[in-house]
A and B are shown apart, each in its own frame.
Chain A
């Protein structure tokens, strides 16, 4: 059986998902259909690990919250994900992490919650995070187009079920990218300032000190 692809999706889109697709047999994979028509069973996320706490003392089940620029993912790691658990215990927070996870839906009385079941979690760096944001943005833009044009069956179903506000998602993606761009421009300014500072220091002759 072909392994499920780890999809790139922003927290906002995933957390707004409620529609579950069960495709036949007991062993058949369960998918979550997002408001932008993504059929999703596994995700890859890079973001900021903001919380990490044991649900109850000694329970061995850890709840984590990982944030991307649009919102946050909630995940639970227990003894059935021993590899992820082992790696999680070594990671401090807040910090940037990457994770691969199965997507699950918890059905409450009034509401459905999308949660993640991480299979692995590891420390990451700002470069990896930025690369992820770009990937997620690209994929989201593609999905927006698909829903706009009713390109795939899933896109049509998603539009019907969620009555998706495409403009809202477009704005979100644009905001995320603008912010990333601004950060880079700021970073360049800082680097320039540092450079100037260095030059000034060099011009300063050590002999002057003794005069």
Chain B
């Protein structure tokens, strides 16, 4: 690489801090020509020197404030965002996970438990500094590590209108081949939102609980399958049972399990078209309907192919 190119690269990072091209050029020349330092070493050395000299916080340069639409597929960035949705963490190594957005788009994020950060809340705005971009299951994600910073801000960040088909949403058709036990009318810990079976949270012990309606199950098309999570809204639209109805069913039958039995009867083995987000372990369903194909047409199509 020509030395001018290195100068350009460094200058583009530091031009807003009053660093001159000449200063960069002089330092690079000294390292490369006088001390015979390899180019990449010289580059890093000059960048680090300028950061220190001009007292610039490292993340501002290495993780520049970026609009979500402009985030690449790797590297470090900082973003000014609003938390749109929080999802239930699937592993103790994850503190929080969900969806954040700014006026240009939305992206998934994940705060690792080891990062030791205070929890963020839905609908509040934050600056996430020095977060690592990676891709999971073909979708971009921002990772908050212990080197990152989260700062709550009073500014209300405008979020791009979340369209019916949100970023990263996928559609899948298959049969609901299983509904897991911890589905139906469940109890959540009022402190951490984890499932608290019989009023016992695995983290907080005996706690006050909040009722919730959900389904954890498996949708399978014979070739691949997904572990799915369905919340109250989706269940209500699909089978007409909401949290209030579920509570009534439980009261009438004197047990919570009656809700699960009812959902099983209505849904197990049925073909569903589901739309939602593909996460680490779960397909989070945002919309579901009973799938009713035109059987006659399909039969004729296959028969035609068989000829």
CB contact under 8 A between A7 and B222, given known A123-B265, A174-B306? yes
A139 near B222 with CB under 8 A, answer yes
B-contacting 9-mer, from A21-29, A124-132, A159-167, A190-198: A124-132
A122 near B268 with CB under 8 A, answer yes
Other-chain residue from A122, A127, A137 in contact with B292 (beta carbon distance below 8 A)? A127
On chain B, the residues within 8 Å of A180 by CB distance are 295, 299
On chain B, the residues within 8 Å of A132 by CB distance are 175
B271 near A131 with CB under 8 A, answer yes
Decide yes or no whether B168 CB sits under 8 A from chain A: no
Other-chain residue from B175, B224, B293, B305 in contact with A98 (beta carbon distance below 8 A)? B175
Number of A-B contacts (CB under 8 A): 93
Interface code B288-307, partner A: CB below 8 Å = 1, 0 otherwise?
00011101101110110110
On chain A, the residues within 8 Å of B175 by CB distance are 6, 44, 98, 132
CB contacts under 8 Å to B, within A119-176, are 119-124, 127-128, 130-132, 134-139, 141, 170, 173-174
| B177 nearest in chain A by CB position | A100
Task: Report the Cα distance A184→B296, complex, angstroms.
Answer: 7
| A174 nearest in chain B by CB position | B306
B303 near A177 with CB under 8 A, answer yes
- What band does the interface of chain A fall in when counting residues whose beta carbon is under 8 Å from B? 35 or more
CB contacts under 8 Å to A, within B259-274, are 264-265, 268-271
On chain A, the residues within 8 Å of B291 by CB distance are 131
Decide yes or no whether A8 CB sits under 8 A from chain B: yes
Decide yes or no whether A87 CB sits under 8 A from chain B: yes
Task: Report the Cα distance A177→B297, complex, angstroms.
Answer: 11
Task: Report the Cα distance A127→B270, complex, angstroms.
Answer: 10
| B179 nearest in chain A by CB position | A120
CB contact under 8 A between A44 and B177, given known A100-B269, A184-B296? yes
Decide yes or no whether B1 CB sits under 8 A from chain A: no
| Smallest beta-carbon distance A145→chain B, Å | 11
A170 near B220 with CB under 8 A, answer no
A46 near B269 with CB under 8 A, answer yes
A44 near B222 with CB under 8 A, answer yes
On chain B, the residues within 8 Å of A20 by CB distance are none
On chain B, the residues within 8 Å of A123 by CB distance are 265
| Smallest beta-carbon distance B292→chain A, Å | 6
Decide yes or no whether B137 CB sits under 8 A from chain A: no
On chain B, the residues within 8 Å of A139 by CB distance are 222-223
| Smallest beta-carbon distance A141→chain B, Å | 7
Decide yes or no whether B170 CB sits under 8 A from chain A: no
On chain B, the residues within 8 Å of A3 by CB distance are 218, 225, 227
Decide yes or no whether B86 CB sits under 8 A from chain A: no
On chain B, the residues within 8 Å of A124 by CB distance are 269-270
Interface code A31-53, partner B: CB below 8 Å = 1, 0 otherwise?
00000000000001010000000
Other-chain residue from B179, B225, B302 in contact with A134 (beta carbon distance below 8 A)? B302
Decide yes or no whether B37 CB sits under 8 A from chain A: no
Interface CB pairs A-B, < 8 A, 27: A3-B225, A3-B227, A5-B222, A5-B225, A6-B220, A6-B222, A7-B222, A44-B175, A44-B177, A87-B264, A97-B269, A100-B220, A120-B178, A122-B265, A122-B268, A123-B265, A124-B269, A131-B291, A131-B295, A135-B221, A136-B222, A141-B305, A170-B306, A178-B303, A184-B295, A184-B296, A184-B299
Which residues in A have some Cβ–Cβ distance to B below 8 Å?
A: 3, 5-8, 44, 46, 87, 97-100, 119-124, 127-128, 130-132, 134-139, 141, 170, 173-174, 177-178, 180-181, 184
Which residues in B have some Cβ–Cβ distance to A below 8 Å?
A: 175, 177-179, 218, 220-225, 227, 264-265, 268-271, 291-293, 295-296, 298-300, 302-303, 305-306
A-B pairs, 6 with minimum CB distance = A98-B269, A8-B222, A122-B268, A100-B177, A122-B269, A130-B295
Question: Can you name 9 extra interface pairs (CB under 8 A) apart from A99-B269, A184-B295?
Answer: A6-B225, A44-B222, A120-B178, A122-B268, A130-B295, A134-B293, A174-B306, A178-B303, A181-B296
